[in-house]
Amino acid sequence: MSVKNGRQFLSIPGPTTVPDEVLSAMHRPAIDIRKGELVNVTARLKDDLRMITKSKGMPFIYIANGHGAWEAALSNVLCRNDKILVLESGSFAGGWGQTGGTIGLDVEVLPGSWRKSVDPEAVEERLKSDKSGDIKAVLVVQVDTASSVVNDIPAIRRAIDNAGHGALLMVDTIASLGTMDYRMDEWGVDVTVAACQKGLMMSPGISFTVANEKAMAFHQKANLRTAYWDWTSRQGSEHYQTYAGTPPVHMLFGLQKAFELIRDEGLDNIFNRHRLLAGATRAAVAKWSEKDEFAFNIIDPDDRADSVTTVLVRDEQKLGAIHEYCAEKCGVVIGVGIASLSGKALRIAHMGHINAPTLLGTLGVIEMSLNALSIPHGKGGVQAAIDYLAASVPR
């Protein structure tokens, strides 16, 4: 017995659902890669990247996933044995730091909690004690997709400034860009890392770095630069140099369409939609958590991201049964816990191409699984989500 039909619905925090318009935009013949339309597509995409990061900085487009952009960001601004300070609040800043370790950086992790945002005071204190300026860059994620925390980037900038420290501030926005506000220039971020397959609604394979003037100055002295990632060679006058080779033609068409959708809806509307659908998710999870089988991973409600919600589940077998039921009986793929939360959590994604029916459908399917599997939970999670949305979205 099953009630699934048609498309599998992805409620995982990346890759996310790709809108039909974006899929269709890729279904067309290839065009010249040296001149004409594609050159304009690239120029527009760079403008789109400045628009969405709210930056006048220099964007670079990579044929790579987020891990590639991590390496691109570090190798373009740093030297062998430079120290980087990684701000822990989940899995991903640490992963980025490990990438740095493999290319010859000296990685220091500022320990944090998987259940809280980065503490700016701890950052300030550590940087103040770095009298000789050994730390060259501070790495942080805006949203950690494993813990579902959101970090306060302006507060971290203030911490660096209060310490009078000259390190670069490098921010991974892979799980937040296009889901919540981000102001690279206003917030004083030196390097932004992003990727296309989460809030930007494109199929995976393209990622980005954006660099400000301070980062470009570091770049001049960096000795970890390599041919493929190198910002300087990518600024060459020939179009192929932008991509260090053949451009990913069809992916650029798709990405261009995704940005068209983003511009049409408007960033503020997009952020509001994410905030509301995240609020609905949290209303449901709060209900379910009235029985102690379930709990929010992120303790302080102000620290919870608008793009993904990580829910701790006490019993690993029940957790597995929920995932299996949602996928096999209903065709909905719920995110699993990863890294230290593997086997301990589920993750409900609410980023990118999501709306009230898809989100309420996902919550409904999860609640259905709890009923069908007789897993103790506070009743009325979906009703709470509906009540929240009805009260928040007036006629």
Ligand X SMILES: *Cc1c(COP(=O)(O)O)cnc(C)c1O
Binding site for ligand X (CB under 6 A): 14, 65-67, 92, 141, 144-145, 172, 174-175, 195, 204
Residue positions forming the annotated binding site for substrate = 347
Smallest gap, in angstroms, from Cβ of residue 128 to ligand X?
28
Of residues 127 and 305, the one with the C-beta less far from ligand X: 305
As a whole number of angstroms, the distance between CA 199 and CA 354 comes to 10
Tokens 């799980």 correspond to 175
- Tell me the C-alpha distance between 175 and 196, whole Å: 10
Distances (CA, A) of 89 to 306, 337, 392: 16, 15, 30
- For the CB of residue 178, give the shortest distance to ligand X in the complex, in Å: 12
Between 130 and 181, name the residue whose CB sits nearer to ligand X: 181
Binding residue positions: 347
Residue 36 vs 101, nearer CB to ligand X? 101
Q: Tokens for 219?
A: 């770049």
CB of 141 to ligand X, least distance (A): 5
Nearer to ligand X, 91 or 369 (CB): 91
- Residue 37 CB, shortest distance to ligand X, in Å, is 28
Task: State the minimum distance, in angstroms, from the CB of residue 375 to ligand X.
Answer: 28
Residue 91 beta carbon to ligand X: minimum distance, rounded to whole angstroms = 8
Nearer of residues 98 and 241 to ligand X, judged by Cβ: 98
**Strand 143-144 vs strand 149-150: parallel, antiparallel, or unpaired?**
antiparallel
How far, in Å, CA of 26 to CA of 78, rounded? 36
Query: Closest residue to ligand X, Cβ-based?
Result: 66
Distance from CA of residue 170 to its chain's centroid?
Answer: 14
Nearer to ligand X, 17 or 65 (CB): 65
Distance (Å, rounded) from C-alpha 56 to C-alpha 239?
21
Got the DSSP string for 323-381?
A: HHHHHHHH-EEEEEP-GGGTTTEEEEE--SS--HHHHHHHHHHHHHHHHHTT----S-H
Matching residue, tokens 């701000």: 87
